[in-house]
Structure 1
Amino acid sequence: MRVGLLTREYPPDVYGGAGVHVEFLARELRSLVDLDVHCWGEGRTEGVVRHRPWSALDGANDALRTFSVDLSVAAAVEGRELVHSHTWYANLAGHFAKLLYGIPHVMTAHSLEPLRPWKAEQLGGGYELSGWAERTAIEAADAVVAVSGAMREDILACYPALDPGRVHVVHNGIDTTLYRPDHDTDALTRVGLDPNRPYVLFVGRITRQKGVPHLLRAVRDVDPAAQVVLCAGAPDTPEIDREFRDLFEELSRVRDGVYWIPRMLPRAEVIQLLTHAAVFVCPSVYEPLGIVNLEAMACGTPVVASRVGGIPEVVEDGVTGVLVSADEDFESGLTEALDAVLGDPDKARRMGEAGRERAVREFGWDAVARRTVGLYEEIVKQA
C-alpha cells in the first residue's frame, strides 16, 4: 500500500508530542507499507519530502502560511493510495488529497482547536482559520484516530456531526529500547545539578496547555531539599514567555537549586535527566495522552500529573505515579503530591519500576503501527 504521512514536525524539527509520535510511527510503518513522509522544511531525502510556506506569504498570518504548505503537500501526494495527516497543520492537505485524487484520508487528532482557546492569543484571527481547517477535515475524513479514549469523547463532543463509527482509539506509543534507564551522569553535570539532592523534572513547551505557570507557583512550597529542573522552551507567544520568565525569577528568589534549560536537549541527555529525577511532573491543563509521561515511565521514574484528558490512561494513580485534579486547588494539590513522592523514596522506586513495566507491556510502537495499518486496510477495502 502506498501511504502518504502528512505532518508539520519531523526530525530534526520536532518540538512536541505530535512530532515524536510521527517520528516513531513512520519508523515502524516503513516495514509494513510503501511510505512517503511530507513535512515542513527544506530539501528532500529518501522517503521524506519537505515543504516550506510560500515566500510570497513571508510575514503573513501563520494560518495562511500553513495553508500554502497544505497546497504544496496535496500536489505532491499524487499516486498515493491513502493519506494520513497529523494536527491541523496538515489536516487540510489530507482533505485536499481526498477530494483531488479520490483516495481515503485518515487523520490523527493529537489535540482539538475548540479545546485550545488560548491559541487565539498566538494566532489572532488565524485561530478561526485553524479551527475551520480542522472541522472541515475531521468531518469529511474516512477515519479519525484518537490517541486515547478520553480524546475520542472530546472529538465526538466537539464535532457531533461526526459518525462515531469513524473514530478509532489507537494509543500513542513509546520505544522502550530507546527510552530506558541510563545511569550515566554527564548530562546532570553539564546542567550543574547537585548529585546529592533529589530533583523534580519538567520537560515541555512553554504554553498554557502544559500548565507551566501552575507548576512554577506549586513548586515554591515543595520540600526545599529538592532541586527543580525545567526543560522548557518554544514559548507560544511573547506574553506567555514574559509570564514564565517573571515566575521563574520569583521562584529563584525564594528557593535555591532551580534550573531552567530553555533549549531542546538531545534525546540522550533528556533520558539521563528522566532517569535520575526523583519525580517527573506533568501539570497540563489539556492533554489528549501525553507521550512525555510514557517517556518518564519508560526510564523508571514516578510521575505526578494532572488528572485530565488521556493522562489517566497512561499514569495509574497510586501505582506508577500520582494524579492531581486540575480544579481550584490544583497548585496546592501538585505541591502535596510532589512532596509525597519526594518524601517516600522506597514507594517512589516501586512506582518507577511499575511504570517501566507498564510502558513495555502496553505501549510498544510496533503494536501501534500494526493497529494503524489494520485501520488503513479496513478503510481502503471500504473505499
Structure 2
Amino acid sequence: MRILTISNTPHDPSQGSGYVITGFAEGLRECGHTVDAYGPDDWAWTDIQRGRRYLFPIMIATFAFWHCRPENYDLVELWGGPTWLLAICLQWLYPKLSLVHHSNGIEQHRVVVQQETPVAGVQNERWFQRDFSWLYDRGLHAADAIVTVSTYDVPFLIDREFVPRERVYTIENPLPDFFLGQTVQYERPKRIGFCGNWIPIKNTQLLRDDVPSFLRQYPDWTFSVVGIGDTDVKADFPDDVHSQIEVIPFLERKELVDWYHSLAIFTLPSIYESFGMVMTEAMACGATLVATRVGFASGLSHGDNAYLLTEKKSSHLERALTALTDNDERRRRIARRGYERVQELRWDDAVSSLEEIYTRLL
C-alpha cells in the first residue's frame, strides 16, 4: 500500500500523539508499505500562536494538494480535527480514494463532555474560541472509516453516524517495549501519584477537594505530582497538608519509570481523555489505577483491573482512596490484574490490526 499520513500534531516520539503517529508509520513501513507522513513541521507556513483553528485547516489542505498529490496514494490517513477541510476536498475530488480518520481523540466529543460536566471551570472555551464541531463533523462524514485509540469515543461516533457502525474501529495505544514485562513488587510505599498538566480538564478541582481530607485521615500517606512544569501546585492545597505533598516539575523517562514503581496508587480523575498513556504506564509498573471512566479506563472493569469512579465530583475520589487504603489486599489484587491487562498493548499487534483494517478498505 501507498499511504499518505497527515496530522495536526508534531511527529515527536517523545510526545503522546507524536509517539503514536510515528509508531504506526514506522510499523507499517516495516510491513513493506510506503508511508509518507507529514506534520506541522512540513505544512505550517509559520509558527503561529493565535488563530490556529482558522489557519491550520487551510495550511493542511494547501500543503496536501501542492506537495503530496493525494491521487498517487491508495489510502489517506488523517489525524486531528483540523484536517476537516482536506477530508471534504478529497471526498469531492477523489471519491474512490480510501480516506481514514485515525483519531487521538474526537474533538467534538470532548466539547460535549465539557459542556455536560457539572465540574465548574471546564464547560466553556475562551470567548474568542468558536466551536468548530460542525466543521469537524463534516470532516468525519467524509471518511470511509474511523480508527480510535480507546472505546470511550466509540458510542459518540456511532450515535452521530459519521460512518457505518462496522467501520468504527478501536486500536489501543501500544506501550513502549521497555514498559512491558517489568518486574514489579506490590508492597509499595504509601504514596499516591498524579502525572500530567495541572489543568481543569484533568479534574484538578476534584484533586483539590478530596486529596487534603484523605491526607488528614492518613498522615503517613503522601501525594506526589509529576510533570506539571513550573505550576505552583501546592498553592492549590491547604497549608496543613503541604508536608505530605511532593511536587516534581519534570522527570526523564528512566526516573519516571522508577517513580511509577514507587506508587501504591496512581490516579487520573479526568473530565475527558482520548486515551491517557500515563494510566497504562503506571499499571505496567504495578500501581493500582484510580480513574474516571474516560479514555483507556473506559474499557477496564471496576474492582478487577482498576478502581473506577462512578462520578467526577467530590467525594468519590476520597472514597476510592480510602477503600484501597483500608484493604491493601484488594489494592494489590487490582494492581496485579491491571499489570496483566496492559501487557496486551504491544506494537506488533497494533500495527497488524491497522494493516488488516486498511487492507480491508481497499
Q: TM-score range by the shorter chain?
A: 0.7 to 0.9
Match of 1:51 in 2: 43
Partner secondary structure for residue 205 of structure 1: coil
Match of 1:177 in 2: 178
CA–CA distance in 2 between the matches of 1:363 and 1:2? 26
CA–CA distance in 2 between the matches of 1:74 and 1:68? 10
Provide, for residues 88-122 of structure 1, a one-character-per-residue CA deviation record: whole Å limited to 9, x for no partner: 13454444445455522101233333333358855
Provide, for residues 117-175 of structure 1, a one-character-per-residue CA deviation record: whole Å limited to 9, x for no partner: 3588556454423x233211101101111333342111122x24543233223333323
Counterparts of residues 163-312 of structure 1 (less than 5 Å): 163-179=164-180, 181=182, 197-222=189-214, 223-233=218-228, 245=232, 248-251=234-237, 253-255=239-241, 256-263=243-250, 265-308=251-294, 310-312=296-298
Scaled by the length of structure 1, the TM-score of the pair is 0.77
Scaled by the length of structure 2, the TM-score of the pair is 0.81
Which structure 2 segments of 5+ residues have no match?
115-121
1:342 aligned to which of 302, 312, 325: 325
CA–CA distance in 2 between the matches of 1:90 and 1:206? 28
CA–CA distance in 1 between the matches of 2:224 and 2:29? 36
Aligned-pair RMSD on alpha carbons? 3.0
Is residue 2:301 matched to residue 1:316? yes
Aligned AA (1:140): A
Aligned AA (1:172): N
Distance 1:125 1:270, change over 3 A: same
CA–CA distance in 1 between the matches of 2:329 and 2:255? 25
Partner secondary structure for residue 260 of structure 1: strand
CA–CA distance in 2 between the matches of 1:98 and 1:180? 44
Identity %: 22
Aligned AA (1:325): T
Match of 1:77 in 2: 68
* Paired residues, number: 341
Aligned AA (2:357): L
Aligned AA (2:262): H
Which structure 1 segments of 5+ residues have no match?
42-49, 184-195, 235-240
Match of 2:3 in 1: 3
Counterparts of residues 113-192 of structure 1 (less than 5 Å): 113-117=107-111, 121-122=124-125, 124-129=127-132, 131-157=133-159, 159-160=160-161, 162-179=163-180, 181=182
How far 1:279 moved relative to its partner? 0.8
Match of 1:237 in 2: none
Provide, for residues 333-374 of structure 1, a one-character-per-residue CA deviation record: whole Å limited to 9, x for no partner: 1112123333444443333232222111x3222111111111
Distance 1:172 1:156, change over 3 A: same
Asked if structure 1 preserves the Cα contact closer than 8 Å seen for 2:189 and 2:263, the reply is no
Match of 2:117 in 1: none
How far 1:60 moved relative to its partner? 3.9
Aligned AA (1:224): P
1:356 aligned to which of 323, 328, 339: 339
How far 1:77 moved relative to its partner? 2.9
Distance 1:332 1:173, change over 3 A: same
Provide, for residues 148-206 of structure 1, a one-character-per-residue CA deviation record: whole Å limited to 9, x for no partner: 3342111122x2454323322333332343355478xxxxxxxxxxxx95321112233
